[in-house]
Chain A
Amino acid sequence: MSLFLIVALPFLGALLPGLMIRAGRQACGMVTFLVTLTAFLGLMTHLPAVMAGETVTARLDWMPSLGLNFNLFVDGLGLFFASLILGIGLLIITYARFYLSREDNMGEFYTYLLLFQGAMVGIVLCDNILMLLIFWELTSLSSFLLIGYWKHLPEGRQGARMALAVTGAGGLAMIGGMMLLGNIAGSYDLTVILQHRDEIQASPYYMPALILILLGCFTKSAQFPFHFWLPHAMAAPTPVSAYLHSATMVKAGIFLMARLWPVLSGTDAWFILVTGAGLVTMVIGAIVALFKNDLKALLAFSTVSHLGLITMLLGTGTPFGAMAAVFHILNHATFKAALFMSAGIIDHEAGTRDITLLGGLRRLMPVTFVIATIASLSMAGIPFLNGFLSKEMMLEETTHTTLFGNPMLVPVLATIGALFSAAYSFRYIVHTFLGPERDDYPGHPHDPGVGMWGPPALLVILVIAIGIAPFLAEPLVKTVTAAVLGGTAELPDAHLKIWHGVTPALWMSVIAVAGGIILLLMFKPLSRAWAAAGPPFAKAIFDAIIAMLVAIAQAVTGRLHDGSLTRYAAIFTVTVFAVTAHAWFSGGVGLPSRDALPIEPVPMTAWILLVTATAVLLRYHRNRFLALILMGVVGLVVSMAFAYLSAPDLALTQLSVEVVTIILLLLALNFLPRYTPVESTAGRRLRDGVISIGAGVGAAALIYTMMLRDFVEPSISAYHLENSYKGGGGTNVVNVILVDFRGFDTFGEIIVLGIAALIIYAITEALLSGPVRARLLNRPTEDVAGDAHPMMMVVVTRVMMPVVLMVGVYIFLRGHNEPGGGFIAGLVVAIGVVMQYMASGYSWASARQRYPFHGIIGTGVLVAGLTGIGAWFFGAEFLTSSFGYFRIPPFEEFELATAMGFDLGVFLCVVGAVMLSLESFSRLARRSDTEVNEYAMDIDPSRDDAPQPTGKEG
């Protein structure tokens, strides 16, 4: 099966459980199981090739220029992890089907689980480190959802948040480390990076890259001092714990260390950091685990300890250490998943997982007892179980490891770790199952159905099978180890077997098991001493750090974001001025290369007009109506400037937008105070004046310098000019750019315009359905013109309407070849319609408006979009235009271009958007004490009497 499909299946499958839950819990679980099974079987089709030492790859170049390729590959290591993820996933899905109660939303659970599974499979099969980072973050996010699945439990939410904060922070460090690594190797493809060992280790960036990547791995794999999130994540439902903490999430960091082993390992830094962290984690985790009373917390700290063990083995940097690590990953996944599931069974049936309330379950839950005992003994390192084999290998490895020049340090610490490990494993059995039966269990302990004990039983069979016949696992372990080594070292010729003779490792094992039994016998006094010592809780430290960060963030945000928008604007302007001034004075500007155009009298007059209008506006801006009139003057001068400077399209657009804007502001001013009061002090006005003059001088200097110099690089405009007629079939280059060259851009813009209009409509609706409505209806009616609908204006606008429409059509049609087009035509037509509203009144006009403006906007976007899609049917890309010349006698030859369809969409969208905005504003203007005009005019000569009031508007 294609590797892409294997990775995609869980993600695609994640859509199904949410839908299938309607068909029942059985169907929901079944479908999830089948999705994972399909992916698993697909993966297994690659097993023969991988076991033969081949690497299966799948390439998909996405953005090769950025080094971002969606490449996948599966070698021994990838196959090993992917089959653990999918295989244990199958068992977990089965188990969860029976574990979750009826109150739990099973569809949601399986959706999260599949998302997580997909992300994990992505990590282990990915060949591009950029993609790997994405999958890495996806596991953090989806595990957040899984850990916090029981949203009603505060511990669940806190645990999820802590896991996300820690692993997310590690993920950020990881991004930095991976970027460095990719830059050193010159490629982001993992297979390429793995070939550059010497180059990477010689680079000065090796240390920062190593530390950042290890931060990512240590946080994910819960290494000291980042181990604390893992026990808190135990608030999740047990299937989640079993899945995340046995085979998947916490193994992601281990996986990455193994994956990058060929290029990162072997240096002193790697050895000290990785072995050191692993060793400390292993010992601390094991000691804490012994004293935990919650079964899942005990298992959580034991997981921390075992992850430390694996990390330590990878840190040694020897091939034998790598092989032991691989073997222990396999063994730990089997017995730990079984143990988590057994803890879940006990919790489920006995009603508690507090070890002090348990004991004597041996006879009540015989099946669970057998499963949990075998798995625990394997964890303790008892012979004929798989945990023994890898623990022996670990101890063997430590006897050859010298840390800080002391050959005894590592073996002694490892033995202590193993000793405590044996102790908590025994405690799990003895304190839960042995001892007298009690009569105060919160539940009624009994063995669950086969659905719940079957999955762990299957794992326990594996535990025994590998334990008795380790040679069965040897080909797999060797293949995976070879993949970890990546050709940098010889595969060790050691074999997996039970009896190695009387070695130091065997003695260490004996000490560990014997010591474990002694510790358990002394448990009561030890436990009291532990409680009295009161070891520091990482959660308190974590909470303190988070509280401090929040305080700092609030202090900074509070200072910068104090709610004063004017202050932001001032700070922003000053900052931009300072930065550009720095660039201006530190950079070099060439000499002017263009001659200035002569100053003609007409532009000079316009300039004087503009400056005078602006000056008067600044002086009298408190009179808002006057300010609007002056703004109109400035807008007109700007349109004239466009017309003079060879931009007829811009002139037409500016002119029509100007009209619409002023109408809009007039409508708004209707509700706002007429005058702006004097509020700011003279000092503040001076400060604002200085800031604004600075901004103005800066802008003027910049554009003046720019206009007198030629382009540094030839611009793409020449291409547009050349191809406008040949390729776009139009002579108006500006219009051809809009509807053809940059059609996609324009398409986005009309959608934005439509959305803006819809926002305005929505706000109006919200205002009119709230308390504002009553206030609006009962506004005092001062200074209202006596003649609301003057006869002259009504007559003129009605006569003009057909003319306006015809002008609109004309401007639209000629747009492709002469100045004009959809934007301008839309504005012109909108102005024509607005005039009807102004002259004849809202009710009269809207009664005659048959098509709702929303519909017009939607139609416009649809027409433009469909025109673009039409190109697909001719095998061209979206919005590719086509044109041809036709002749229908007796008319002259004329051109038809598909771009015209697109322009029609633009036209409709502009009309709809402008009209919807203005109409919304005018709806606010209706009040209770004016009559609705039934007729177009207040005075109609043909009527005998004045219009009858038709009732109050309400």
Chain B
Amino acid sequence: MELLLASAVGVLTAAGVYLVLRQRTFPVIVGTAFLSYAVNVFLFASGRLAVQQPPVLNDAAAAYTDPLPQALVLTAIVISFGMTAVVVMVALGAYLSSEDDHIDDRPETGDEGAQS
């Protein structure tokens, strides 16, 4: 199970970073959303994994999983929505004002040498 989750975090991170490195606003926004997934799952997993042990107190339960990362991630999910919304609005405002949805400030050459 740990292997599945870790590889999923890796896949989400890689996809997020790749999309963030694109040159138009929309893929970058999708990329940040993927990075949010990856980071949230990462933080959640730092409490270690457990199945069938929700942190809801119950006389019958033998053990509970770690509630703290869950609480932190819960607010993180909501905040990341707020962040995404602001970024989308900024991107949209920029596009509507200039009819251009490039991320970069300067004329894009697409030239490998100029980029790195």
Contact = CB atoms under 8 A, between A and B. Distances in A.
B97 to A, nearest CB: 6
A607 B93 contact: no
Nearest to A618: B15
Contact of A742 (B8, B24, B64, B71): B71
A654 interface: yes
A650 B52 contact: no
Contact of B18 (A661, A665, A689, A732): A689
A641 interface: yes
A647 B54 contact: yes
A724 B49 CA distance: 21
A610 B11 contact: yes
Interface string A697-728: 11111111011101000011100110011000
Contacts of A567: 104, 115-116
A88 B33 CA distance: 63
Given A641-B41, A760-B86, A650 B110 contact: no
A733 B21 CA distance: 39
A406 interface: no
A603 interface: yes
A716 to B, nearest CB: 7
Contacts of B38: 699
A41 interface: no
Given A695-B14, A759-B86, A764-B89, A634 B37 contact: yes
Interface string B72-116: 011101111111111011111101110001011110101110011
Given A566-B22, A687-B112, A707 B49 contact: yes
Given A650-B77, A657-B77, A599 B3 contact: yes
Given A599-B3, A725-B57, A767-B96, A715 B115 contact: no
B50 A645 contact: yes
Contacts of A706: 45-46
Contact of A823 (B34, B41, B75): B75
A818 B2 contact: no
Contact of A763 (B19, B90, B105): B90
A720 B70 CA distance: 12
Given A627-B27, A647-B65, A717-B47, A668 B71 contact: no
Given A607-B4, A647-B65, A757-B82, A684 B13 contact: no
A527 interface: no
Contacts of A648: 54, 56
22 contacts: A562-B105, A563-B104, A566-B23, A618-B19, A627-B27, A647-B65, A647-B70, A650-B73, A664-B84, A669-B26, A683-B112, A687-B112, A691-B18, A696-B12, A707-B6, A721-B67, A731-B56, A742-B71, A746-B75, A752-B79, A753-B78, A818-B56
B11 A611 contact: yes
Interface residues of B, number: 91
Nearest to A823: B78
B37 A638 contact: yes
A734 B55 contact: yes
A693 B14 contact: yes
Given A600-B1, A614-B12, A634-B34, 15 more contacts: A566-B23, A594-B48, A596-B3, A614-B15, A631-B34, A645-B51, A646-B52, A657-B78, A668-B89, A681-B112, A684-B115, A687-B116, A696-B17, A699-B13, A721-B57
Interface of B: 1-27, 29-30, 33-34, 37-38, 40-42, 44-58, 64-68, 70-71, 73-75, 77-86, 88-93, 95-97, 101, 103-106, 108, 110-112, 115-116
B6 A703 contact: yes
A921 to B, nearest CB: 7
A744 to B, nearest CB: 12
Nearest to A770: B97
B33 A661 contact: yes
A599 B1 contact: yes
A921 B89 contact: yes
Contacts of A596: 1-3
B74 A734 contact: yes
A119 interface: no
A141 interface: no
Nearest to B39: A699
Interface string A553-589: 0000000001111110110010000000000000000
A621 B15 CA distance: 11
A757 B67 CA distance: 29
A570 B1 contact: no
Contact of A646 (B12, B65, B75, B92): B65
Nearest to A668: B88
B48 A920 contact: no
A635 interface: yes
Contacts of A746: 75
A796 interface: no
Contact of A627 (B6, B30, B42): B30
A641 B3 CA distance: 13
Given A650-B74, A707-B48, A700 B96 contact: no
A819 B67 CA distance: 12
A384 interface: no
A563 B106 contact: yes
A400 interface: no
A738 interface: yes
A540 to B, nearest CB: 37
B15 A692 contact: yes
B89 A688 contact: no
Interface stretch (A59-67, A156-164, A671-679): A671-679
A700 B55 CA distance: 26
Interface string A749-767: 1001100110110011011
A877 to B, nearest CB: 20
Contacts of A628: 30
A597 B6 contact: no
B112 A752 contact: no
Contacts of B50: 645-646
B44 A642 contact: yes
A600 B33 CA distance: 28
B44 to A, nearest CB: 7
A910 B112 contact: no
A733 B55 contact: yes
Contacts of B64: 721, 733
B104 A564 contact: yes
A703 B5 contact: yes
Given A653-B78, A733-B57, A776 B8 contact: no
Given A597-B1, A647-B70, A734-B55, A672 B30 contact: no
A380 to B, nearest CB: 63
A328 B30 CA distance: 71
Given A562-B106, A638-B40, A737 B89 contact: no
Question: Which of B12, B16, B81, B112 counts the most chain A CB atoms within 10 A?
Answer: B81
A126 interface: no
A664 B88 contact: yes
Given A642-B44, A681-B110, A733-B67, A749 B78 contact: yes
B21 A566 contact: yes
A470 to B, nearest CB: 70
Contacts of A562: 105-106
Contact of B85 (A664, A672, A776): A664
A446 interface: no
Given A676-B22, A688-B18, A689-B18, A697 B10 contact: yes
A603 B68 contact: no
Given A653-B74, A703-B9, A914-B81, A604 B4 contact: yes
B48 to A, nearest CB: 6
A647 B12 CA distance: 20
B104 A565 contact: yes
A745 interface: yes
Nearest to A756: B82
Question: Which of B3, B4, B38, B101 counts the most chain A CB atoms within 10 A?
Answer: B4
B101 to A, nearest CB: 6
Nearest to B108: A679
A715 B96 contact: no
